[in-house]
A and B are shown apart, each in its own frame.
Chain A
Amino acid sequence: MTTNSEQPKKPGVGQIFLEELNNRFKPPEKEKKRGRVGQTIAIPLLAVFTGLIIGGIFIILTTEQVYAAFGQSFGAGLAAAWEAVSKAYSGLFTGAFGDPARMIAALQSGDELQIRRAFNPILESLVTSTPYIFAGLAVALGFRAGVFNIGAEGQIFIGALTATFVGYSITGLPAIIHVPLALLAGAAGGAMWGFIPGWLKAKTGGHEVINTIMMNYIAFRLSDFLLTGPMKRPGSFNPVSPEILPSAWLPRFFPDPIRFHLGFFIALGIAYLVYWYLFKTTWGFELRTVGTNPNAAKYAGMNVTRNIVLAMSLSGALAGLAGANEVLGVNRNLAMAFSSGYGFDSIALALLGNNHPLGVVLASLLFGTLRSGATRMQLTAGIPNDIISILQAVILAFIAAPAIIRTIYRLRKPTVEEAGVTIRGWGG
């Protein structure tokens, strides 16, 4: 077989990724470079760029000084507007990546604490990105199977609950066992929370969008109940769980204040695993077929309902890992205020990342960076970090309606209509 001269060259991972991104449509030879890779990558990039511009407009509109300056003269107004935007975005940048000048100064001084502080922002961005990666993968995996998992938020809560419980209640284990056990508990909790709506969809046709939303409420109230009752820290007045035992902590790589921990690399590993599962195994092929054309899946002898249940469970497990990662790596306990919005943002991440693990990782890094930088921006520029939510919302709107981006930037429409996997999720 290997001697056959017609055998095509084995494509590398990168090539497969590009093919995969584009397996919706591949224009003929000539236009390959521009039309093909172009559109799938250009649209998210342009969406982010346009989002930043619109975010800037909002910053201008919400800054009182700008209005005052316009009252004096038009030039002063423009200057004030420019100052507000540049201050905000430079605050965002230094918040997200750190201040280069400070980094250099710290390195020159040789003071370890200074160095840690200077480099903390960029590592903190990675810390913030980590749960995004897990949750984004969760939603993307669901979309690939044609199910719309809105319940990632609830699954995160349940995953955090189960991981926390294993983290503080089981004593005397070495970290090498305790950490994986707690992570597995988180995954299992999330999987259960995903399995239920998946099973309901498969058996009764109940729409997963409705049922995952309902499961979210149950998860929120369940955690309220547990944190004020059975899982409440003894002797505490606040609804917070007992401290997780150090043996279950995800190891951090640097001393305080840097919280960068092993979870980031686990997330990258899981992302590769999801990629491998989706594109290298027959199970992944079934999942994608069921998600893209359930009729053809049935025709090909695949068990559609089993795949839907499986996909929802796996999706839930990934979301559960996001919750476990947060409590084991960052918080080290579970508080009632442990509400992140990660689960809802992850829908945007999956869309932005085109439901591809690599895309999700990149999108998560972007969102994590934005969110982490926003806190600093609020401090230095006095711009409310809610502006980041607007930015994210605008980006998402552009991703969901690519026609807007195409119109603004005069991009050619792909010839085959974009029957996105994502859209299918809505129809059930």
Chain B
Amino acid sequence: MTPVLELRGITKRFPGVLANDHIDLTLEQGTIHALLGENGAGKTTLMNILYGLYKPDEGEIFVNGEPFRVQSPSDAIARGIGMVHQHFMLIPVFTVTENVMLGEESLKPGGFLDREAAARRIREISTQYGLEVNPDSYIKDLPVGVQQRVEIIKLLYRNANILIFDEPTAVLTPQEADELFEIMRSLTAQGKSIIFITHKLREVLEVADIITVIRRGKVIGPVTPAEADQSKLAAMMVGREVKLELEKEPARPKEAILKVENLIVTDETHQVAVDDVSFEVHEGEILGIAGVQGNGQTELVEAVTGMRDVEDGKVFLMGKDVTHAVPRKFTEAGTAHIPEDRQRDGLVLPFPVMENLMLCTYYLPPFARRAIIQWDYVMLNATRLVQEYDIRTPSIFTAAGSLSGGNQQKVIVARELSRPIHLLVAAQPTRGLDVGSIEYIHSQILKRRDEGVAVLLVSTELDEIMQLSDRIAVMYRGKITATVSAEEATKELIGLLMAGTPLEDARQQIQKKATQSEKIGGAN
């Protein structure tokens, strides 16, 4: 059978970089083809070529066996190729129907919008593929998982046959991710074909029919999930053996470094985002804060680093009241902060690496002497850190913005961890990074913990929380609904807590399930 999509020898050069080096990719109808690779490996470039955003230097694309010259995204859409972007392209104040028909409006005579017709189609699509959604709901009222379904419906509404999912699970709870996989299977069962871009090994093994790994612009593979396991895939991505399981000594927590009491923080719209939260982080332990994105973690982190003022409650740092202190106070008291959004807060992208490496302590000796910047030392410091933290950059004069995401993050980690600290607040420290960088950053965080630093780790990646934390607190709608020890924490339990289930109920549910499966197991 002719494959629905075939890329042959796609090559794309950027000045000095070979982003795609003769990439071959074959997508068979009705399959899920996972595209796995480190950040900067060339996945995005390849998809942008397929989507008409870049022109390949060499190579051909075939859709259903016919050559396909793509000039723009509209060409791609016309040929039935659609992309579910990582960041949704939806208008919050429009209904599902309005969002779906946007750009493809069905009209009644006289030029009026025919919402009913569109809603009917949406209902058909949603029953056909198991994409439950109410066409009349407003996007802003829908949970993230459902918004993603709307994105998928948008593509199906435009008769897409090849669907590209770009890191679709980044914003989902584990349960929502499972639902998405169901939907993906249902789509392929009915003849659609899927390219699934991800960096999460577990998901690839769970859902993909075939896996292509891209490393430094070259294809490694393809392999089938049956032939591969997580460590093999990781090795293919990185090009060497990767330790997926961290070797972690048990924590030896001592005194409380950070103490938060009845903290209330509001967001930009003056809504309470952090609601009466109390916790302690001790010397030598990692407290992980789990939760679906947008449950107050951002505001919490900002409040305990001085970036956002506190409405009520107290924050103590090593016994000192720092409730309303400015960020510099926190820095000077020995807080390191890896911010959630590295490009927004953590870096000045147009500035060279060496300037970004002095961002928080630029005014202190030896970086500056009486307000005169000691450029010799700045360069020396940068050269050292670039080497020590393996930051891949053409030079220390290169703008931080032209580094890959992983290396940008390493710049921040290098800067924050290279000074003496008592508390590390790490928010999404590995978001969007490749396996190699994640491994490295995790090992650095653990190293600090073992040296006696108190670590507050906030992450929406459950794997990360489970791997690193000594205790796990779950945030749901601004409250810490439960704190469990690392021993008790299972993916299932934390997943239920993240969805708002009270701790006792969650425990019971898991117990029930366990006994049920035992029964089934016994019956078999």
Contact = CB atoms under 8 A, between A and B. Distances in A.
Interface of A: 1, 4, 6-8, 10, 19, 23-31, 35, 280-283, 285, 288-289, 292-293, 295-301, 412, 415-416, 419, 421
Contacts of A289: 348, 351, 359
Contact of B328 (A292, A301, A412): A301
Contacts of A26: 394-395, 397-399, 402
A416 to B, nearest CB: 5
A31 B16 contact: yes
Contact of B347 (A1, A4, A296): A296
Given A4-B380, A292-B348, A416 B15 contact: no
Contacts of A282: 362-363, 368, 371-373
B402 A416 contact: yes
Contacts of B495: none
A285 B373 contact: yes
B404 interface: no
Nearest to A293: B348
A292 B327 CA distance: 19
Interface size on B, as a range, is 35 or more
A296 B372 contact: no
B307 A298 contact: yes
Interface of B: 14-17, 307, 326-328, 331, 337, 339, 344-352, 355, 359-360, 362-363, 368, 371-373, 375-377, 379-380, 383-384, 387, 394-399, 401-402
13 contacts: A8-B383, A10-B375, A24-B399, A25-B402, A282-B362, A282-B371, A292-B349, A298-B327, A300-B362, A415-B402, A416-B402, A419-B349, A419-B350
Contacts of B344: 293, 295-296
Contacts of B384: 6
Nearest to A279: B373
Closest 7 CB pairs of A and B: A28-B16, A301-B328, A299-B345, A301-B327, A293-B348, A300-B359, A282-B363
A415 B14 contact: yes
Contacts of A24: 350, 399, 401
A211 B371 CA distance: 32
Residue from the set A1, A30, A292, A300 with the largest chain B CB neighbour count within 10 Å: A300
Contacts of A415: 14-15, 402
A424 B60 CA distance: 40
Contacts of B355: 285
A6 B379 CA distance: 10
B372 A281 contact: yes
B330 to A, nearest CB: 8
Given A292-B350, A299-B337, A299-B345, A285 B376 contact: no
Given A6-B383, A7-B376, A300-B359, A28 B394 contact: yes
Given A23-B397, A301-B326, A10 B376 contact: yes
A296 B346 contact: yes
Given A30-B15, A280-B372, 20 more contacts: A8-B380, A8-B383, A19-B352, A23-B351, A23-B352, A23-B397, A25-B401, A26-B399, A27-B15, A27-B16, A31-B16, A289-B348, A289-B351, A292-B348, A293-B349, A299-B327, A300-B327, A301-B327, A415-B14, A415-B402
Nearest to B380: A7
Nearest to B342: A296
Contacts of B372: 280-282
A75 B398 CA distance: 55
Contacts of A280: 372-373, 375
Contacts of B394: 26, 28-29
A157 to B, nearest CB: 33
A416 B327 contact: no
Residue from the set A30, A292, A298 with the largest chain B CB neighbour count within 10 Å: A298
A319 B394 CA distance: 40
Nearest to A302: B328
B397 to A, nearest CB: 5
Contacts of B383: 6-8
B307 A299 contact: yes
Contacts of A8: 379-380, 383, 396
Nearest to A34: B15
A6 B376 CA distance: 12
A332 to B, nearest CB: 38
Contacts of A281: 371-373
A14 to B, nearest CB: 14
